[in-house]
Amino acid sequence: MKNVLGREIPESIQGYGTVKPFKGAFESLGNVEKKSVQLRSIVPGESKILSSIREAMEKCNIKDGMTISFHHHLRNGDYVLNMVLEEVANMGLKDIKVAASSIFPIHAPLVEHMRNGTVTGIYANYMSGPVAEAISRGELKNPAIMHTHGGRARAIQAGDLKIDIAFIASPTCDSYGNINGVQGPAACGSLGYAIPDALYADKTVAITDNLVPYPASPIEITQEYIDYIVEVDSIGDPKGIVSGTTRITRDPVGLKIAKMTSQVIEASGLLKDGFSFQTGAGGTSLAVAAYVKELMKEKEIVGSFAAGGITGYIVDMFEEGLFKSLFDVQCFDLKAVESYRDNKNHQGMSASMYGNPHNKGAVVNNLDVMILGATEIDTDFNVNVTTGSNGMIMGGSGGHSDTAAGAKLSIVVTQLMRGRLPIIVDSVTTVTTPGESIDVLVTERGIAVNPQRQDLIEKLKDTNLPVMTIEELKEMAEEMTGIPEKIQLDDKIVAVVEYRDGTVIDVVRKIKD
Amino acid sequence: MEIKVPAKAGTMESNDIYIMIQPNDEGGIQLDLESIVMAQFGKQIKETILATLEELDVKDAHIIAKDRGALDYTIRARIETAVKRAI
């Protein structure tokens, strides 16, 4: 069958089940239910502290076929996922499903666990490196399921993604399971992505390298959700957890795109007191923030909040009084971690509060402007950030679809071509975010507005910005690059891309060697 | 033009192409092409290289090309420079 975007998807996928096709960004919402949670009460006198991960797994009655989960705040410095899976393999367990909010190159040992049948399923919102490549080559038994950040929270809450045991990498944990992310050698700041796991998993195990006397302070994940605690030597490498500094691009093309983007924001009329804003940590996105900062200062505008993965640059804007508050689901650098620890108005949010569409309203719904990236964008404004143009998985939505759906103005910023590859195509390799959620595309040579936003087209007419159709932009790039040949993919489905509401927006097929 | 000595042009930077050219004792054109966009543009890059060699009247040469996503005019310029350094 074809979904509403015209993507060819089977009615049922082996290893996934029946497909609910994507119908539109807000078509599959309404009255929903939260799943119930089975748990065992802990009585006075019981200790939660166990001596090893092995003991914790035995206490949790781990069995073949179970789903175990991880959060990704330690990013490419995370030791916990590898540590737990090594023990899973040592125990001879098979058919384990790994629900990791994101997977990074450091998780390469997972490939071997996939090959020998220890791990047969993977859920992730984002994946890059050897695991993503192995999945693209068809080395995982069942198709991987790719969520959005908000969609993962929804899937857990709705019971679509049932977690048997959640392993929470805990930079600080007290002896009764109160956790925070701001102290300890592996301090990473907000633990927003771990919260749905802690709330809805049958069993929850805190893995920490900073076990402190009761009670910890501050507390981000509370004792009422934690069954067991295991102390280990190290949960992660600080160098991989936080990038030293996040920098604004020096590339003149990136700066030109950023400048034009700030002019689009200004023309939109959204830049006034109470303005809310989110941007990624990429060089061009940060440069947009820099130009927006200049505009806000010049016009003496005070914004309400900035959200998302928070970088030092956004913290600077906050400290200068340009935003009243920050909503933080994940800290990208040390400056953000320090600010999250020290500033009352730098507030944490869970993955669910951030972007879960089943909520009574997520933070993304209150965003004015969102700055997004793209690997490819098609002439219907559908965006791919999941696969490279060779079909290999190299990312995933993360918060892309969530913020695009929520924000009043979603702007994709990208160079017109990357290497020789044109970014604007007739049909993206994989749809991550539907075109209906994208309002504007800004490239160094021109700006295209989604035709459904006639109001914006009118507003931009009064500026001297180079507004044109997305087809014109595409032709401009192809004049320079030539028209790329279509890549050939195998029929086998290696990943299912779920939209935030749990419907299937696209599938990823095996690459041909 | 006759290729007399080995020569190079270009760099391994992205959006450039690195060309090595040398005499081909067996006669004819031998092209060894590597590209980061082989699947999408391999054919077009090959055609551009061969057409440029023909324009320059090069009939016998062994060319090793390592492409980092160069556009056609870059490819033509690098080939022409390598050829002129090799005669």
| pTM of the predicted model as reported, rounded to 2 decimal places | 0.94
User: Six-digit token pair at A468?
Assistant: 């044109």
Instruction: Write out residues in chain A with pLDDT < 50, as ranges.
Output: none
Beta-carbon count within 10 A of B50 CB: 15
> Mean pLDDT across the stretch B13-37?
95
Closest CA to A308 of A361, A349, A272, A273: A349
Cβ atoms of A334 and A373 closer than 8 Å: no
User: In whole angstroms, what is the distance from residue A96 CA to residue A99 CA?
Assistant: 10
CA B14 to chain A, closest CA, distance in angstroms equals: 6
Q: Strands, E, within B2-84: which ranges?
A: 7-9, 17-22, 29-35, 61-67
8 Å CB contact of B69 and A390:
no
Instruction: Name the one residue in this structure whose structure tokens are 């060309």.
Output: B19
Instruction: Name the one residue in this structure whose structure tokens are 């404004």.
Output: A381
8 Å CB contact of B40 and A480:
no
Cβ atoms of A286 and A246 closer than 8 Å: yes
Cβ atoms of A489 and A512 closer than 8 Å: yes
User: Six-digit token pair at A78?
Assistant: 């995370």
Specify if B79 maps to a domain: yes
8 Å CB contact of A419 and B39:
no
8 Å CB contact of A419 and B36:
yes
3-state secondary structure of A57: helix
Which CATH number do you get for residue B31? 3.30.230.10
CA A513 to chain B, closest CA, distance in angstroms equals: 11
Chain B residue with the nearest C-alpha to that of A488: B39
Instruction: Name the one residue in this structure whose structure tokens are 């098979």.
Output: A94
Specify if B45 maps to a domain: yes
Render A437-488 in DSSP notation, one character per residue. Answer: G--EEEETTEEEE-TT-HHHHHHHHTS---EE-HHHHHHHHHHHH-PPPPPP
CA A243 to chain B, closest CA, distance in angstroms equals: 24
Give backbone dihedrals phi and psi of A476, rounded to 5 degrees, phi first: -60, -40
CA atoms within 13 A on the CB side of B26: 4
> CB contact, 8 Å: A426 with chain B?
no
CA atoms within 13 A on the CB side of A442: 27
Specify if B18 maps to a domain: yes
Closest CA to A402 of A154, A31, A103, A122: A154
3-state secondary structure of A265: helix
> CB contact, 8 Å: A91 with chain B?
no
Cβ atoms of A90 and A124 closer than 8 Å: no
CA B83 to chain A, closest CA, distance in angstroms equals: 24
Cβ atoms of A437 and A443 closer than 8 Å: no
Specify if B66 maps to a domain: yes
Q: What is the structure's pLDDT at A243?
A: 65
In the sheet that holds A179-180, the strands lie side by side as A179-180, A172-174, A211-212
User: In whole angstroms, what is the distance from residue A440 CA to residue A158 CA?
Assistant: 33
Q: How confident is the model at residue B1 (pLDDT cuts 50, 70, 90)?
A: confident
User: In whole angstroms, what is the distance from residue A297 CA to residue A306 CA?
Assistant: 16
Chain A residues inside the 8 Å CB shell of B70: 420
Chain A residues inside the 8 Å CB shell of B36: 419
b/e code A170-187 from CB counts within 10 Å (16+ = b): bbbbbbbbbbbbbbbebb
8 Å CB contact of B37 and A480:
no
Write out the residue range of the structural domain in which residue B21 sits.
7-86
Number of domains in chain B: 1
8 Å CB contact of B37 and A420:
yes
Beta-carbon count within 10 A of B2 CB: 11
Peptide linkage before A218 cis (omega within 30 of 0): yes
Chain B residues inside the 8 Å CB shell of A419: 14-15, 36-37, 68-69
Q: Residue B69 pLDDT more than 90?
A: yes
User: In whole angstroms, what is the distance from residue A335 CA to residue A8 CA?
Assistant: 45
Give backbone dihedrals phi and psi of A59, rounded to 5 degrees, phi first: -65, -30
Give, as one character, the DSSP assignment of residue A77: G
Helix or strand run (H / E) with residue A491: strand A489-498
Cβ atoms of A437 and A397 closer than 8 Å: no
Specify if B1 maps to a domain: no
Specify if B14 maps to a domain: yes
Chain B residues inside the 8 Å CB shell of A423: none
Instruction: Name the one residue in this structure whose structure tokens are 């691009």.
Output: A249
Q: What is the structure's pLDDT at A245?
A: 56
Q: What is the structure's pLDDT at A247?
A: 77
8 Å CB contact of A481 and B71:
yes
User: Six-digit token pair at A355?
Assistant: 């972007």
**Phi/psi-derived region of residue A322, left when phi > 0, alpha when psi is between -120 and 50, beta in every other case:** alpha
> CB contact, 8 Å: A513 with chain B?
no
Q: What ipTM was reported for this prediction?
A: 0.87
Chain A residues inside the 8 Å CB shell of B40: 389-390, 420-421, 484-485, 487
Residues of B with CB under 8 A from a CB of A: 14-15, 36-37, 39-44, 68-72
> CB contact, 8 Å: A421 with chain B?
yes
Specify if B68 maps to a domain: yes
CA A5 to chain B, closest CA, distance in angstroms equals: 24
Cβ atoms of A279 and A317 closer than 8 Å: no
Give, as one character, the DSSP assignment of residue A225: G
3-state secondary structure of A243: strand
Specify if B2 maps to a domain: no
Amino acid at A397: S
> CB contact, 8 Å: A419 with chain B?
yes
Q: Strands, E, within A185-265: which ranges?
A: 203-208, 211-212, 228-231
User: Closest partner residue to A390 among B39, B69, B70, by Cβ?
Assistant: B39
